[in-house]
Structure 1
């Protein structure tokens, strides 16, 4: 069952470190998929890192990779920095203030982009910006990997996800579960195609995109 509300930077108390309960439940399943997609070395840019707990787990699981967390929210950036400092992992870079919807990102190039639970908890412009930025900053053949709940044609939506969608829209009308076909169309606009779909626990999906080959572009 999906969480009844999205994690927000104020969750987890007043301390610097915030806690997203879903992280403990999904991080190993996500890491298992990442093992098939991440390059052996290079830089992984995480968009919308939230509390920072995911990136600490993945940096520990994939020590040969450098990890760049980011988030537009100052409270999230504080939490990311606190979790990273506690981990003492040398392969996590300081978090960047990065809004996916912004036309310019404060990064040069990445070898993979990871985005967990942002698409449904942000305006649609953030998803457009995610692929626009990926087209600018990703190395050739590098993947864009998304995780979260989606609506799919010809696939019955779980009642818990329908309730989650309603709660998101009540909180912010610009939020809500997106149709995966609409995400695919935005990806294609910026030269990406979805190549894999993984069913995940709690009625979520992991979907992976790569640049379209010249013959298919």
Structure 2
């Protein structure tokens, strides 16, 4: 399931998900980023360009960049307030291999031509919040933006054989579908098949904490 709300103690400068300098904070990102950093470090190329799509608050990329110093990280997000937060996090925790954030709607067609090529493309916790067509566009554009031998990685909750695998996942998926019937969890095999149709070779899914998965695929040389 998606990461449950954490118990959070007093944090100087933090109030209601926002720091006094404009940084936004997502509790789920703080909980999962160490696990994601370890998993991405295992699959990432030693050097090249890494594209993070739907970067959100910016709390992932500031953790990824120091751990993978051979990659130049490009964070992106379609929302101005999120890009402002990313900029604030980079200022607060700078790394020489993080570029300033740029605008990118990962579910809009055509972005591979303007935001590629990339040796690693990462996306977290988006596919279940968009329609199947939007998710298909996102996955196909990821494939198009990769360099030969490049890798795409998507993290989040997924169905297995069309079914949720925990009560928490079932409840969360039901809430999403109650508000937006055309959205909800995507099946891991559907993601793999979509990537395969786009020319990628899916790797074995990687189990992650909180019943989530990291789905990875690579582009043939």
Q: Structure 1 length normalisation: TM-score?
A: 0.87
Deviation by residue 1:8-55 (Cα, 9 ceiling, x = unmatched): xxx724862111101222111111111221000111101111111001
**Counterpart contact for 1:111–1:142, Cα < 8 Å:** yes
Find the residue that maps to 1:147 and give its secondary structure. Answer: strand
Choose the corresponding residue for 1:202, options 210, 215, 220. Answer: 210
Q: Which residue number in structure 1 is paired with residue 55 of structure 2?
A: 49
Check if 1:130 corresponds to 2:155. no
Distance 1:88 1:13, change over 3 A: closer
Q: Which residue number in structure 2 is paired with residue 12 of structure 1?
A: 17
Find the residue that maps to 1:115 and give its secondary structure. Answer: strand
Q: Structure 2 length normalisation: TM-score?
A: 0.85
Deviation at 1:154, TM superposition (A): 8.2
Find the residue that maps to 1:206 and give its secondary structure. Answer: strand
> Which stretches in structure 2 are left out of the alignment for 5+ residues?
6-15
Please, which moves more after superposition, 88-97 or 169-178?
Answer: 169-178
Q: Which residue number in structure 1 is paired with residue 71 of structure 2?
A: 65
Find the residue that maps to 2:153 and give its secondary structure. Answer: strand
Q: Which residue number in structure 2 is paired with residue 108 of structure 1?
A: 116
Q: Which residue number in structure 1 is paired with residue 175 of structure 2?
A: 167
Find the residue that maps to 2:49 and give its secondary structure. Answer: strand
Check if 1:119 corresponds to 2:127. yes
Distance in 1 (CA, whole Å) between partners of 2:178 and 2:81 is 23
> Which stretches in structure 1 are left out of the alignment for 5+ residues?
6-10
Runs of 4+ with >6 A deviation: none
Find the residue that maps to 1:43 and give its secondary structure. Answer: strand
**Counterpart contact for 1:99–1:126, Cα < 8 Å:** no
